[in-house]
């Protein structure tokens, strides 16, 4: 044992939308300090799994730090898990106020000095301090995505969950977000990201879960990456090369 706590445990998780089962018995344990990337084709159930773990969907079989998720109050859970959705709607609030929403689980009637400091830190970390007074409907898709991540950071969670966080971003911002997720985990937090870009995931994450049709097909480190896995999960033929010690998946 390495003394790390189990941050998330999912036991035989099943979930259906309108009677159609899309998670078909998922088992997963994630420890503090891990950076996990969840991969797999569209419709595999990745987003649904993330929403179950973050308490957005009501599911049975999810424990967070050893306690069933349904036993947490909303505020308690929000201090532990932050979830960044695939898309956020822009609005008429400023960037600063939007990120301040991340402090709601801590706030009294008014934001404290500490709340305001946490917002400033999150804006700075995402490199968007200069956007603080803009309203979110004046932002580009990538900027809005960074606001959404800043809001999650302001929440000061123990587990950071992001659903395809790099989708709207240019390559520099993609790398920044991946570094941030990695730092978050090396600083003792847990990062769980749903990713489409296998190579970006490979470069940064330490563990990979491949899903297909509501089930986990493979779970492990870089050693699980074999052409046969990509054939089975995505139905594509790939070569796996190594560049500077990092595996790179090349579709044929």
- Residue from 7, 37, 48, 218 binding ligand ADP (CB under 6 A): 48
Can residue 212 be called a binding residue for ligand ADP (CB under 6 A)?
Answer: no
Helices then strands, each counted (H, E), the chain: 8, 12
- Residue from 8, 10, 46, 95 binding ligand ADP (CB under 6 A): 46
Please work out, in degrees rounded to the nearest 5, the angle formed at the alpha carbon of residue 15 by the alpha carbons of 12 and 20: 130
Collapsing DSSP to helix, strand or coil, 19 comes out as coil
Q: Which is nearer to ligand ADP, 43 or 221 (CB)?
A: 43
Stretch that binds ligand ADP, among 46-54, 106-114, 151-159, 196-204 (CB under 6 A): 46-54
- Provide the minimum distance between the beta carbon of 48 and ligand ADP in the complex, in angstroms, as a whole number: 3
Label residue 72 exposed, middle or buried (CB < 10 Å: 0-12, 13-18, 19+).
middle
CA-to-CA dists, residue 187 to 96, 158, 163, 190, angstroms: 25, 10, 21, 9
Stretch that binds ligand ADP, among 40-48, 120-128, 142-150, 237-245 (CB under 6 A): 40-48
- Residue from 1, 3, 19, 42 binding ligand ADP (CB under 6 A): 42
Please work out, in degrees rounded to the nearest 5, the angle formed at the alpha carbon of residue 146 by the alpha carbons of 141 and 108: 125
Can residue 54 be called a binding residue for ligand ADP (CB under 6 A)?
Answer: no
- Provide the minimum distance between the beta carbon of 16 and ligand ADP in the complex, in angstroms, as a whole number: 9
Strands (DSSP E) contained in the chain are 6-17, 20-31, 35-39, 62-64, 67-68, 81-84, 159-163, 190-194, 207-212, 215-220, 238-243, 246-251
Of 8-37, which residues contact ligand ADP (CB under 6 A)? 17, 22
- Residue from 8, 10, 44, 82 binding ligand ADP (CB under 6 A): 44
- Provide the minimum distance between the beta carbon of 41 and ligand ADP in the complex, in angstroms, as a whole number: 7
Binding site for ligand ADP (CB under 6 A): 17, 22, 40, 42-48
């Amino acid at each position: 044992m390495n003394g790390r706590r189990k941050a998330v445990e999912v036991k035989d998780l099943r979930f259906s939308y309108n009677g159609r089962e899309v998670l078909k018995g998922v088992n997963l344990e994630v420890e503090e300090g891990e950076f996990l990337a969840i991969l797999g084709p569209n419709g595999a159930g990745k987003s649904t799994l993330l929403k179950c773990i973050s308490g957005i969907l009501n599911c049975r079989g999810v424990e967070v730090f050893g306690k069933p998720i349904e036993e947490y109050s909303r505020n308690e859970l929000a201090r532990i898990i932050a979830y960044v959705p695939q898309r956020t709607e822009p609005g008429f609030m400023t960037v600063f106020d939007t990120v301040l929403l991340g402090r709601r689980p801590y706030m009294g009637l008014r934001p404290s000095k500490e709340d305001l400091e946490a917002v400033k830190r999150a804006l700075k970390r995402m490199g968007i301090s200069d956007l603080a007074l803009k309203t979110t409907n004046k932002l580009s898709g990538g900027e809005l995505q960074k606001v959404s991540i800043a809001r999650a950071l302001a929440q000061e969670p123990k587990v950071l969950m992001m659903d395809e966080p790099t989708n709207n971003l240019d390559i520099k911002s993609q790398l920044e977000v991946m570094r941030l997720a990695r730092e978050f985990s090396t600083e003792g937090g847990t990062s769980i990201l749903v990713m489409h870009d296998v190579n970006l995931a490979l470069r940064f994450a330490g563990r990979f879960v491949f899903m297909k049709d509501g089930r986990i097909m493979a779970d492990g480190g870089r050693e699980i990456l074999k052409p046969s896995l990509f054939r089975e999960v995505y139905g594509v033929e790939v070569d796996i090369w190594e560049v500077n010690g990092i595996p790179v998946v090349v579709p044929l």
